[in-house]
A and B are shown apart, each in its own frame.
Chain A
Amino acid sequence: MDQALIRNFSIVAHIDHGKSTLADRLLQVSGAISERDLKEQVLDDMDLERERGITIKASAVTIDMNVDGRTYMFNLIDTPGHVDFHYEVDRALAACDGALLVVDATQGVQAQTVANAYAAVNNNLEIIPVINKIDLPSAAPEDAAIEIEHVLGISADNVQFVSAKSGVGIGDLIRAIVRHLPPPKGEPNGPLQALIFDSEYNDYRGVICYLRIVNGTIRKGQRVLLMGRQRTYLVTELGKFRPQMSPCDELAAGETGYVVASIKRLQDVTVGDTITDAGQPALQPLPGYQPPQHMVFCDFYPSSGESYDALREALEKLSLNDASFSFAPQHSDALGPGFRCGFLGLLHMDIVQERLERECGVSVVQTAPSVTYEVVPHDGPVRRVESAGDLPDMGMIAELREPIIETQIITPADAIGSIMQLAEQRRGVYRKTEYLSPQRVLLTYEFPFNEILYDFYDKLKSVTRGYGTMDYHVIGYRAGDLVKLDILVNGVPVDALSLICHRSKAEARGRRFLIKLRREIARHQFEIALQAAIGSKVIARETIKPFRKNVTAKCYGGDVTRKRKLLEKQKAGKKRMKTIGRVDIPQKAFMTVLEPED
């Protein structure tokens, strides 16, 4: 294929601005799918994704597009839209030469528009701004175009105005893609260098790697080397998604496609690795990726009815098609054996937990998520801990550092005051304000990651009446006056409930937490003391009074079986709790630290 006829590009957008609709529209215009199939969003394939309206995996689709009498090959590389999946966005963009930056004409530039635009610029991509949904009466396409130019510094000369839904403007957009996005460069006859920009597990074929061929040509039957892993494989199948898998014999420099090479486990492939010829390897690999940072951790323990092995098997099964979470055995004094799992972010954590229950049918006790902290001991090297339970004795610690994020918040200007107040509560450090228009601003803040871990986004939505959007990325670690807050149930410290927080917040946090915990734990036959402590100093206390009455009033001839089953069920319900000392703690209590604060 003549490289001049190839275009590799991504569509990037803030969530709901129409990325999937536009991708489907392009497929439909090219004839790859019918109008009827348009109803299904072709590029999203997991149920869960559809339900949550987000895409987890990047995938690539090849379409033949007829433009002014010539047939072009468009390789459309899909990207996820949520903050947690930044890393995947980056991987996908590295396989592209250009990007369509979609902005909803009724919403204007939003936080993820900014983040995505920066990511595209960092990857040296040519960008075509696309203002979508111009069919809507409330559309303000010109304003959106001005915002793009103003905030993102992207020239509005090439802006395309479209309705992905009705098809208006799509022809012009296609011509703009051909005209403004560069064709790939690369030497088809040079030594093979192909970038693995994504991978996916398939029950029948094993691991499928998505490739962008940068130099050389890859062929069926070729023995290839994964340069990072230093392992060789035989290429058994090559092809493209159109959007169905469609095998071919070779892929040459500039092309995008997939390769199957009897790789059994997703873990055997590092996304970002370079594939080369095993006999005549390239001199060096392509610039790789930063491996994904697991920023959020929590523990999964089997509920009492479940076995540890069943949980392990389920996690192994899930990791087959999600290589971006990690898990390692973990032992908690209170909860026994389980797993410490690392996630890209909170949403990612929710997705994994939901898939465990839904797809694997195992129920778990999940501890409150934590970010990773850096511990600087008085002597010895700096190390990271993923939960308060793993902290060494505080006396041994010279400094405790927490991860800091930079946040971009786009909000109506009249909400600035409320956001500043919110930011102050969360130990935010103000950086700058940029006006997108007189009514809308882009605020940049730094926060300790810990402070926005759970309800910050909800709070932001509420103080901006739903209009605020945000995006964040981790910028480093910083020392803080952090303490370990222990929770004791009848004098027994519960490691899974302990947490790290800023000293100024410890007391209030401990007090609120105990109140919530008190609500979660049912009355027992005896009094239960709940305490929050820093070291040996108790800073808050609650008691749960013993229950006085638990008796079925009626048990006559007609009730025997039902009452018996009820009692048996109550008893079985207790099994689903964790017993600490003699206190039954329901699973939900372990997540209580997460709930909104005020």
Chain B
Amino acid sequence: MTTPTACRSLYAHVPFCRSLCGYCDFYSQVLDDAWVTPYVEAVLRELAGYAARRPLDLDTIYVGGGTPTVLPAGELERLLSGLRRYAPDDAALEFTVEANPATITDEIAAVLAAAGVNRVSIGAQSFDPAELRTLERTHAPGHVIEAVDQCRRLGVRRISLDLIFGIPGQTLESWWRSLAAAVAIAPEHLSCYSLTYEPGTPLCTRLNAGQVQRVDEDLEADMYEAALDVLPTAGLAHYEISNFARPGAECRHNLRTWHNEPYLGVGPAAAGYIDAVRYTNVADTAAYVAAVAENRSPWHQHERLSAEGRARETAMLALRLTRGIDCRSFAERHGQDPAVLFGAAIERHTRDGLLAVDDASIRLTRAGLLVADTVIADFLCVR
């Protein structure tokens, strides 16, 4: 048996939202007060279980969902302070909470600040009211500005905004306006996602039924390129396929994932990666609460990765970063020279101008970023 490795990152999943958005495939349910207390207790208990078996030396905590900020203030406070107990050094901690602009009340903002949350990630998605309606988001563009102000007033140092492009009906101009509006708020961090039609979501059903129209692929590419072009001029450097940040303000928690380092996940549907095992908790609050209460594992599925599997995942994740695969650290970690292990893929894609390679790193070119999946797939599979 391998000894449990220390874990420095924690993700906690809050499976509640005020209402559910048509495009979203995260596990969440409409807030049901009766489940809140059992849920918070179960999370803290699950976490204590991990802590009993391995050192938890957290320096990143990420509370996502769902919508953590829909929790009643008292319960949110209990959850956040309960998580924070495992982070020994306040100064070193990156403590992120995701927020829906419509749910940040003064009271909630105060809870976040008091709990030591120093990074708030706000799902702005768009600054165009019609596009927000298409996404079934309940907030208005103005809510984003208010929410950011509240957080800033209470001393939250880092704000991240999410934007979505490729929304049915969106034009290059309206995307441009959303980017400009986001930049005007001066967030430290900005994520720009192309809309994904996740199987099983209401939006996907509408797409298949022909009720909504996918934006043209060329337009979507133009939108992505617009973000790549304009954001760095506003001081937000591109560092991951969909992420931009002021230098030094990259999301450390997510970098852990992209560096393929371990992290714990707690809460229903949360995923974690410890001791070379990737696991996912059961995506059902009742089942989750029951499992934890009965000292059963809430894991719904898990997979132990082989040495080769780990190496390939390291490559897959690192390629998402603009810095790419760091050849030296890859070789140290996996005992193989990535230039050799991925020789065929590297050759093909450098020839097509999708990869740039030198002694230090292997990374996607600008052209490669747009077709990252095509390139990355060849790093995952032999042949």
- Point out residues on A near B: beta carbons under 8 Å: 523, 525-526, 547-561, 563-564, 567-568, 570-572
Asked if A567 contacts B373 (CB within 8 A), the reply is yes
Which B315-354 residues have a C-beta within 8 angstroms of A? Answer: 316-317, 320, 352, 354
* Among candidates B220, B265, B373, residue contacting A557 with C-beta atoms closer than 8 Å: B265
Q: Name the B residues within 8 Å of A554 (CB-CB).
A: 193, 196, 242
Bound-state CA distance A437–B354 (Å) is 73
- Point out residues on B near A: beta carbons under 8 Å: 11, 13, 193-196, 217-218, 220-221, 224, 241-242, 254, 256-258, 263, 265, 269-273, 278, 280, 303, 313, 316-317, 320, 352, 354, 369-374, 376-378, 380-381, 383
Shortest distance in angstroms between A209's beta carbon and chain B's nearest beta carbon? 50
Asked if A556 contacts B377 (CB within 8 A), the reply is no
* Among candidates B269, B272, B317, B372, residue contacting A550 with C-beta atoms closer than 8 Å: B372
Q: Which 4 A-B pairs have the closest CB atoms?
A: A548-B221, A558-B271, A553-B193, A551-B372
Asked if A568 contacts B377 (CB within 8 A), the reply is yes
Bound-state CA distance A548–B217 (Å) is 7
Q: Name the A residues within 8 Å of B381 (CB-CB).
A: 568, 571-572
Residue pairs across A and B with Cβ atoms less than 8 A apart, 29 shown, are A547-B217, A548-B217, A548-B370, A549-B220, A549-B221, A550-B371, A550-B373, A551-B369, A551-B372, A553-B193, A553-B196, A553-B242, A554-B242, A555-B257, A555-B317, A557-B11, A557-B256, A558-B11, A558-B269, A560-B271, A561-B280, A563-B316, A564-B316, A564-B380, A567-B376, A568-B377, A568-B380, A571-B377, A571-B378
* Among candidates B256, B303, B369, B372, residue contacting A561 with C-beta atoms closer than 8 Å: B303
Bound-state CA distance A428–B10 (Å) is 75
On whether A549 and B11 interact (CB within 8 A), knowing A557-B272, A567-B316, the answer reads no
Asked if A549 contacts B376 (CB within 8 A), the reply is no
Bound-state CA distance A525–B383 (Å) is 18
Which partner residue on chain A sits nearest B353 by CB separation?
A525
Q: Name the A residues within 8 Å of B376 (CB-CB).
A: 567
Asked if B278 contacts A560 (CB within 8 A), the reply is yes
Asked if B371 contacts A567 (CB within 8 A), the reply is no
Shortest distance in angstroms between B68's beta carbon and chain A's nearest beta carbon? 15
Shortest distance in angstroms between B70's beta carbon and chain A's nearest beta carbon? 19
Which partner residue on chain B sits nearest A575 by CB separation?
B383
Asked if A549 contacts B224 (CB within 8 A), the reply is yes
On whether A551 and B263 interact (CB within 8 A), knowing A560-B313, A560-B317, A561-B280, the answer reads no
Bound-state CA distance A141–B222 (Å) is 70
Q: Name the A residues within 8 Å of B370 (CB-CB).
A: 548-551
Q: Name the B residues within 8 Å of A555 (CB-CB).
A: 241, 257-258, 317, 320
Bound-state CA distance A570–B376 (Å) is 11
Q: Name the B residues within 8 Å of A568 (CB-CB).
A: 377, 380-381
The total number of A-B Cβ pairs within 8 Å is 100
Bound-state CA distance A533–B9 (Å) is 62
Asked if B380 contacts A567 (CB within 8 A), the reply is yes
Bound-state CA distance A555–B376 (Å) is 13
Shortest distance in angstroms between A559's beta carbon and chain B's nearest beta carbon? 8
Q: Name the B residues within 8 Å of A556 (CB-CB).
A: 254, 257
Q: Name the B residues within 8 Å of A523 (CB-CB).
A: 217
Shortest distance in angstroms between B337's beta carbon and chain A's nearest beta carbon? 22
Shortest distance in angstroms between A234's beta carbon and chain B's nearest beta carbon? 55
* Among candidates B217, B220, B373, residue contacting A552 with C-beta atoms closer than 8 Å: B373
On whether A549 and B257 interact (CB within 8 A), knowing A567-B316, A567-B373, A570-B377, the answer reads no
Asked if B11 contacts A553 (CB within 8 A), the reply is no
Q: Name the B residues within 8 Å of A549 (CB-CB).
A: 194, 217, 220-221, 224, 370-371
* Among candidates A548, A570, A572, residue contacting B373 with C-beta atoms closer than 8 Å: A570
Decide if the interface of chain A is mainly helix, strand, loop or mixed: loop
Which partner residue on chain B sits nearest A555 by CB separation?
B320
Asked if B218 contacts A548 (CB within 8 A), the reply is yes
* Among candidates B193, B196, B258, B374, residue contacting A525 with C-beta atoms closer than 8 Å: B374
Which partner residue on chain A sits nearest B301 by CB separation?
A561
Which partner residue on chain A sits nearest B382 by CB separation?
A571
Not counting A523-B217, A547-B217, a sample of 17 additional A-B residue pairs whose C-beta atoms are within 8 angstroms of each other reads: A547-B371, A548-B371, A549-B217, A549-B220, A549-B221, A549-B224, A549-B370, A549-B371, A550-B373, A551-B371, A553-B195, A558-B13, A560-B271, A560-B317, A567-B316, A567-B380, A570-B373
Bound-state CA distance A564–B319 (Å) is 13
Shortest distance in angstroms between B245's beta carbon and chain A's nearest beta carbon? 15
Shortest distance in angstroms between B140's beta carbon and chain A's nearest beta carbon? 24
Shortest distance in angstroms between B321's beta carbon and chain A's nearest beta carbon? 11
Bound-state CA distance A284–B50 (Å) is 90
Bound-state CA distance A560–B277 (Å) is 12
Q: Name the B residues within 8 Å of A557 (CB-CB).
A: 11, 254, 256-257, 263, 265, 271-273
Shortest distance in angstroms between A47's beta carbon and chain B's nearest beta carbon? 31
Asked if A558 contacts B270 (CB within 8 A), the reply is yes
Q: Name the A residues within 8 Å of B263 (CB-CB).
A: 557
Bound-state CA distance A571–B265 (Å) is 29
Bound-state CA distance A493–B326 (Å) is 44
Bound-state CA distance A549–B196 (Å) is 13
* Among candidates A550, A558, A564, residue contacting B280 with C-beta atoms closer than 8 Å: A558
Shortest distance in angstroms between B175's beta carbon and chain A's nearest beta carbon? 14
Q: Name the B residues within 8 Å of A560 (CB-CB).
A: 257, 271, 273, 278, 313, 317
Which partner residue on chain B sits nearest A553 by CB separation?
B193
Bound-state CA distance A526–B354 (Å) is 12
Q: Name the B residues within 8 Å of A558 (CB-CB).
A: 11, 13, 265, 269-271, 280
Q: Name the B residues within 8 Å of A526 (CB-CB).
A: 352
Which partner residue on chain B sits nearest A572 by CB separation?
B381
On whether A550 and B374 interact (CB within 8 A), knowing A557-B263, A571-B380, A571-B381, the answer reads yes
Shortest distance in angstroms between B103's beta carbon and chain A's nearest beta carbon? 21
Asked if A561 contacts B278 (CB within 8 A), the reply is yes
Q: Name the A residues within 8 Å of B242 (CB-CB).
A: 553-554
Bound-state CA distance A563–B241 (Å) is 14
Q: Name the A residues within 8 Å of B317 (CB-CB).
A: 555, 560
Shortest distance in angstroms between B20's beta carbon and chain A's nearest beta carbon? 17
Bound-state CA distance A548–B372 (Å) is 11
Bound-state CA distance A549–B278 (Å) is 29
Bound-state CA distance A156–B263 (Å) is 88
Bound-state CA distance A523–B381 (Å) is 21
Q: Name the B residues within 8 Å of A559 (CB-CB).
A: 271
Q: Name the B residues within 8 Å of A571 (CB-CB).
A: 377-378, 380-381, 383
Which partner residue on chain A sits nearest B162 by CB separation?
A554
Shortest distance in angstroms between A583's beta carbon and chain B's nearest beta carbon? 14
Shortest distance in angstroms between B344's beta carbon and chain A's nearest beta carbon? 13
Bound-state CA distance A31–B140 (Å) is 79
Which partner residue on chain B sits nearest A561 by CB separation?
B278
Bound-state CA distance A568–B378 (Å) is 9
Bound-state CA distance A556–B162 (Å) is 14
Shortest distance in angstroms between B101's beta carbon and chain A's nearest beta carbon? 19
Bound-state CA distance A563–B372 (Å) is 12
Q: Name the B residues within 8 Å of A525 (CB-CB).
A: 352, 354, 371, 374
Q: Name the A residues within 8 Å of B256 (CB-CB).
A: 557
Bound-state CA distance A568–B379 (Å) is 10
Q: Name the B residues within 8 Å of A547 (CB-CB).
A: 217, 371
Shortest distance in angstroms between A498's beta carbon and chain B's nearest beta carbon? 30
Shortest distance in angstroms between B179's beta carbon and chain A's nearest beta carbon? 16
Q: Name the A residues within 8 Å of B320 (CB-CB).
A: 555
Q: Name the A residues within 8 Å of B194 (CB-CB).
A: 549, 551, 553
Shortest distance in angstroms between B283's beta carbon and chain A's nearest beta carbon? 10
Q: Name the A residues within 8 Å of B265 (CB-CB).
A: 557-558
Bound-state CA distance A547–B221 (Å) is 9
Shortest distance in angstroms between A313's beta carbon and chain B's nearest beta carbon? 26
Bound-state CA distance A211–B34 (Å) is 77
Bound-state CA distance A266–B225 (Å) is 65
Q: Name the B residues within 8 Å of A567 (CB-CB).
A: 316, 373, 376-377, 380
Q: Name the A residues within 8 Å of B11 (CB-CB).
A: 557-558
Bound-state CA distance A526–B313 (Å) is 27
Bound-state CA distance A551–B220 (Å) is 11
Which partner residue on chain A sits nearest B271 by CB separation?
A558
Shortest distance in angstroms between A519's beta carbon and chain B's nearest beta carbon? 15
Which partner residue on chain A sits nearest B218 by CB separation?
A548
